[in-house]
């Protein structure tokens, strides 16, 4: 059973999400929070597997709440929600440790699948939407310094791992990378696990941010 904490400042939104999730045999909503501060408190108290986090709330917003939750409970998975598909706060939430992003008008099926995906350790975001979003917003005012800082995280990667990270940042799935390189999907999965450990990221969302910061790819690639 996957336990879920819902965070949104609108009670009707929380009620709708609760109905969607509680209808599933493997999901249960263990609590609701109306703001970021309450989310941090309830997360520590209830220890949910997944927090469904609205990013736009008065007071302590979803980005800061995500950062505090992940800082105190690294095992919690946060699924960020936003009204806008392309929103700088989404990237900020991914930087803070969120494992994925979905629009707030998500269908019941997409929300349920998103919760299951982040709980499994994957990023709940279509790869090409991820690259479009990050390509739009991950732009440092001083590109040379940003690239230097990001590149430092790649020093331990092999040439093949660096190549795979670049392909991930361009939006390719493991299966697509395997087909393009002529190797098995399990081989790619092993490479991905290794490179994630070396650059100290939890999932594809954070890996793509590192690739952009290291200038392996640039917006429009």
- Segment 72-86 shows an average pLDDT of 83
Q: Which residues of 164-175 are buried (b: 16+ CB within 10 A; e: fewer)?
A: bbbbbbbbbbbe
pLDDT of 195 > 80? The answer is yes
Indicate the pTM of the whole model.
0.66
Condensed to tens digits (0 to 9), the pLDDT of residues 127-140 reads: 556 666 666 655 54
Cα–Cα dist 196/88, whole Å: 24
Mean pLDDT of 116-126: 81
Query: At residue 141, does pLDDT exceed 80?
Result: no
Q: What is the pLDDT of residue 54?
A: 92
């Amino acid at each position: 059973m996957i336990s879920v904490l819902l965070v949104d400042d609108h009670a009707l939104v929380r009620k709708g999400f609760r109905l969607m999730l509680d209808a599933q045999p493997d999901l249960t909503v263990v609590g609701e929070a109306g703001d970021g501060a309450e989310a941090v408190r309830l997360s520590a108290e209830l220890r949910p597997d997944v927090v469904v986090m609205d990013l736009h709330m008065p007071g302590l917003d979803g980005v800061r709440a995500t950062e505090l939750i992940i800082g105190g409970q690294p095992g919690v998975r946060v699924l960020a929600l936003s009204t806008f598909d392309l929103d700088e706060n989404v990237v900020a939430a991914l930087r803070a440790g969120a494992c994925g992003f979905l629009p707030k008008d998500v269908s019941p099926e997409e929300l349920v699948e998103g919760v299951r995906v982040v709980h499994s350790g994957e990023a709940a975001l279509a790869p090409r939407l991820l690259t479009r979003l990050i390509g739009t917003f991950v732009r440092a005012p001083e590109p040379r310094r940003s690239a230097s800082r990001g590149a430092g995280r790649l020093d331990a990667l092999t040439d093949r791992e660096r190549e795979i990270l670049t392909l991930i940042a361009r939006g390719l799935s493991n299966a697509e990378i395997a087909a393009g390189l002529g190797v098995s999907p399990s081989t790619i999965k092993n490479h991905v696990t290794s490179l994630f450990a070396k650059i100290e990221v939890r999932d594809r969302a954070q890996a793509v941010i590192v690739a952009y910061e290291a200038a392996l790819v640039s917006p429009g690639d």
